[in-house]
Amino acid sequence: MEQHKAIFKRLYIVFFLVCLFAVAVIFKMLSTQFIEGEHWTSKANTQTTIYRNIPAVRGNIYASGGSLLATSVPIYEVRWDPNVEALTDEYFAEYVDSLAMVMAVMFQNKSAMAYKMDFVKARNSGSRYFLIGRNVNFNQLKAIRQFPILKRGKYKGGLIIHQQNKRKKPFRALASRTIGYEREGVKPVGLEGAYSKTLSGVNGKRLMQKIAGGIWMPINDENEVEPEDGSDIITTLDVNIQDVAHNALKKQLEKHSADHGCVVLMEVETGNVKAIVNLTRGNDGEYYEKYNYAIGESTEPGSTFKLAAYMVALEDGYIDIDDTINTGKGKYQFYDTYMYDSHEGGFGTLSVKDAFALSSNIAVAKIISKYYNRNPQAFIDRLYKMNLHMPLGIEIFGEGKPQIKSADDPSWSGISLPWMSHGYEVQMTPLQILAFYNSVANDGVMVKPKFAEEIRKYDKVIETFDPIVVNEAICSKATIKKVHEMLNAVVEYGTARNLRNSNYPIAGKTGTAQIANAKYGYSYESKVSHQASFCGYFPSDNPKYTCIVVVNAPSRNVYYGNLVAGPIFKEIADKVYASSVGIHSQLTETISSSKIRIPVSKNGALTDIIAVFNEIGVKNTVNTEAEFVSSKTGPTNVELYGRKIIEGLVPNVLGLNLKDAVYLLENAGLVVEVNGRGTVKKQSIKSGLKVQREMKITIELV
């Protein structure tokens, strides 16, 4: 009996524990459902349903004339829900063969039979998000919307479309590095990076659900929050000048088999950069825009820096341009190091002006050493007052830092002063040198180079970027006047006399620097790398543009600035001058027929002009195959340059007769109104802007 009681006692204890456990389970279930229900429901939803960002359409980047430099082109990812409720087995079976056939024809990546097998497998496996294609363009999408089954739409045919945006550059390589890019995980480059926030807009939101395979599928057909498109950037760049500069630099780099080079053309008064080219030789021997050397590469400038050294001595009153200096026989010793002039046998005694024009290293080094050797920091401080030690602070990331060391720098030595005077032991970027020369052309006012004119949204101007003055006066007006004369002498009879022409005056300075590197150093006796450059402005009597050309490591035994960089400068300047009516309009009005032997030529159709020239015996040089040309009349010859006509953009008809002007404008789709007679002197719509439907343009002839 006692044994039975013990067994029952154990059974009661076990039964009690089981009941207690059951009560605990029930309590936990009720607690989870009613007390913690909202928390766990929310957590479950976050694991399977979330709001995902819908990228806004990025704003466009335009050239100053309205040409599109960068835009966002829509591309699509197309998916299919083959198990949508409205799609019956009978309907699927009837049209799946047709769908497979048109898919095979469009994408041509597999057979119609393979497509059908994939579609059947997707339906049988219960797939709700089958991938049709990525990177589908608009025309393909338009066709897909008419395909069997899919033409019924999302809810009846299961068609699912995701729009994405891909960045495109219509002009491809032109200014590619300056336009730049912005990519996830990569430091932003160029204008795309500088104005990323403006261009990006505001992302939208879309509710999406995670399904099998870790794929996110939209729940609703519309976005919950629509994205707000980004604003547009209007740059200072001129597509036509950019094209000229690109081809001129590329041709010369190929000719000299150079490693890389850059060109920048800038408006004197505004600092607007009208063209910037950076080309690097690839492994295949072709040239590409890989790195922005003009902005980022800080190197020893060589002889272009002599301008700053002479300006210091002129400003301090130690020299005048008519003073003389004995340069000897082209070899001079500073402490234990020799300095050389490029002219074999030396230049002898020269005036300061001639020493600059002929680019004597010894002359400038002796002058700076003589007057600043006891107090070298006075020389450095004067350079600092011209802002040469300060970055320009441009909007594009990656500006190289200028280096002009002070006299208390640990690397300072006895030869630092004479070597700095002709562009060694200092470092500057091409754009920084250009800004300095531009300040000379601009009567001493230094303006910051800029790449953007304004921000627009839906054709409404949001912000305008005015010129920014960095330094009101880098030196006195008297010094500016003297260095103008010196820079003119370089082209008149100095190292850049090959750039002299009878149509407009050029001023500037050549530079040929030996580039220090671990392999060669500076030895005159061994193989070295060179940097050839030319920086100047035109027309020098009324400067409108400054330009710098730098070519690195030319490798065919020609490396002087006048021979390597100079021709690039001249080709750009010639074409800019020929196409810029405002620069030389006054000259054409006052030109005297007694000073030239042939009549002044007008612009017009190439075949008509050549026919007239042949009839009256005028010599001419044709530099183009274009249908319409601009002409440049010289003393004995007329040069003809092509006018670039781009479909969809307003053409430039200035200087043309009425027949040719109306022909070009009406072919472009414009409605033309005419005032006056003679040749076109003014057009109401600026060339390069996009032609709109039924756009009217008025041309004035004189």
Confidence tier at 43 by pLDDT (50, 70, 90): low
Instruction: Output helix, strand, coil percentages for the chain, rounded to the nearest 5.
Output: 35, 25, 35
Nearest partner of 484 among 271, 275, 314, judged by Cα: 314
3-state secondary structure (DSSP) of residue 36:
coil
Over residues 554-582, mean pLDDT: 84
Q: What mean pLDDT comes out for the span 642-664?
A: 79
Checking if the pLDDT of 649 tops 90, the result is no
Q: How many CB atoms lie within 10 A of CB 604?
A: 22
User: Average pLDDT, stretch 60-64?
Assistant: 94
Q: Report the relative pairing of strands 620-622 and 638-642 from DSSP bridges.
A: parallel
End-to-end Cα separation, the chain, in angstroms: 135
Does the pLDDT of residue 308 top 90, yes or no? yes
DSSP 93-142: HHHHHHHHHHHHHHH-SS-HHHHHHHHHHHHHTT-SSEEEEEEE-HHHHH
Q: What is the pLDDT of residue 242?
A: 96
Neighbours of 517 (CB within 10 A): 11
Q: What is the mean pLDDT of residues 30-54?
A: 61
Please give the pLDDT value at position 267: 97
Banded pLDDT at 47 (limits 50, 70, 90) = low
With 60 as the cut, is the pLDDT of residue 521 above it? no
- Least confident segment among 358-362, 434-438, 568-572, 647-651: 647-651
Res 672: pLDDT: 85
The secondary structure of 402-426 as a DSSP string is PEE--TTSTT--TTHHHHHHTT-SE
Which pLDDT does position 526 carry in this prediction? Answer: 43
Q: Copy the structure tokens of residue 150.
A: 């899919």
* Cβ atoms within 10 Å of 396's Cβ, excluding its own: 27
Torsional class of 671: left (φ above 0), alpha (ψ -120 to 50), beta (otherwise): beta
- The pTM assigned to this predicted structure is 0.72
Give dist(CA 629, CA 489) in Å, integer: 33
Give the dihedral sign, CA 22/24/30/36. negative
70-123 residue pLDDT tens: 998 888 899 999 998 889 999 999 999 999 999 999 999 999 999 999 999 999
* Tens-place pLDDT, residues 596-627: 456 666 777 777 777 777 777 777 777 777 77
Rounded to whole angstroms, the Cα distance separating 513 from 497 reads 19
What domains does the chain contain, in order, with CATH numbers? 52-235 (3.90.1310.10), 239-581 (3.40.710.10), 592-701 (3.30.10.20)
Share of the chain above pLDDT 90, in %: 56
Long-range contacts of 97-103 (CB under 8 A, 24+ apart): 98/148, 99/147, 99/148, 99/149, 99/150, 102/147, 102/148, 103/132, 103/147
- Sign of the Cα torsion 166, 167, 169, 170 reads positive
Q: Judge whether residue 556 has pLDDT over 50.
A: yes
Q: What are phi and psi of 588, to 5 degrees?
A: -70, -25
Please give the Cα distance from 56 to 444 (Å, whole number).
Answer: 45
Residues 356 and 306: beta-carbon distance below 8 Å:
yes
Confidence of residue 523 (pLDDT cuts 50, 70, 90): very low
Q: Please determine, for residue 518, whether its predicted confidence score (pLDDT) is greater than 60.
A: no
pLDDT score of 1 more than 60: no
Q: At 53, phi and psi to the nearest 5?
A: -65, 135
Residue 251 or 183, more confident:
251
Task: Return the structure tokens found at 405.
Answer: 């060391």
Report CA torsion sign: 413, 400, 361, 350: negative
Lowest mean pLDDT among 60-69, 352-361, 483-492, 629-638: 629-638
pLDDT value of position 674:
84
> Strand 204-211 vs strand 130-136: parallel, antiparallel, or unpaired?
unpaired
The per-residue pLDDT for 597 is 57
Question: How many residues are given for the chain?
Answer: 702
Confidence of residue 221 (pLDDT cuts 50, 70, 90): low
Average pLDDT of the chain is 86
Q: Is the pLDDT of residue 493 over 90?
A: yes
| The predicted structure's pLDDT at residue 337 | 93
**pLDDT value, residue 648:** 76
Rg of the chain's alpha carbons, rounded to an integer? 36
Q: How far apart are CA 170 and CA 161, in angstroms?
A: 26
